[in-house]
Amino acid sequence: MIFTGVDIIEIRRIKKIILTNKKFLEKVYTPTEIVYCNSKKNKWQHFAVRFAAKEAVWKALGKKDIWHRDISVKNTKDGKPEVVLSKKYKNLEKKISLSLSHTEDYAVAVAVIEK
């Protein structure tokens, strides 16, 4: 079976939430993701696309007991996005394909899981 999840978000919405609610970063992103996004010239796009990725993976998994910080996004050496899951869902990690994209205004992510 194949399961998919898609999410799109306005970049300015993520920027506004992060700037007005400092706890949001710690609640949603891993420390590694925060360092990565903050190191980028257009950091808001990177925060937004990672948020969209977490939502897309959550939707594809269809699990209500997984949280944003249980889903992490990192890039492989060749720049391809890769999902890292918490211990409870580690067995699904290699079955997830992820595609990310963003413009100046929007970020989108698609997750495909083969179970």
State the fold for domain 2-114.
Ribosomal Protein L22; Chain A (3.90.470)
**Which residue is it, tokens 């007991």?**
65
Over residues 6-49, the pLDDT tens digits come to 999 999 999 999 999 989 999 999 999 999 999 999 999 999 99
Q: Which amino acid is at 115?
A: K
Q: State whether residue 76 is helix, strand or coil.
A: coil
CA 73 to chain centre: 5
The C-alpha angle with vertex 86 and arms to 90 and 7, in degrees rounded to 5, equals: 95
Condensed to tens digits (0 to 9), the pLDDT of residues 38-56 reads 999 999 999 999 999 999 9
Q: In 1-115, where does DSSP find H-type helix?
A: 11-20, 22-28, 31-38, 43-61
The phi, psi pair for 104, rounded to 5°, reads -65, -30
